[in-house]
Structure 1
Amino acid sequence: MPTGVAIRDVRGHLLDAAERVLLRDGASALTSRAVTTEAGCAKGVLHRHFPDFDAFLTELVHDRVARIDDQATILRKSAGTGTIAHNLTQALLDLFESAAVAVISLVTSRDGLRARLREDRPTGVPILTDAATAIASYLTAERELDRITADADVDTLAPTLIGAAHMLFADRQGNPPKAEDIHKVVTTVIAPVERQPPR
Structure 2
Amino acid sequence: MTVLTPPRSPLVDEALELARRWCAGHTIDGAPALRHAVEVATTLGRYVPDAPADIIAAALLHDAPEFAIDVDLDQVLTNRFGPATTRVVRALEREHAALGQTPAPPFEAGDTVALTASAADKIVSLDSVLRRASFAADRAAYWRTRRPFLALVPYFRAFHTAARTALPAEMAATLGRLVTDAEQVAAGRG
Asked if these proteins are the same fold (TM beyond 0.5), I'd say no
- Structure-1-length-normalised TM-score: 0.41
Larger Rg: 1
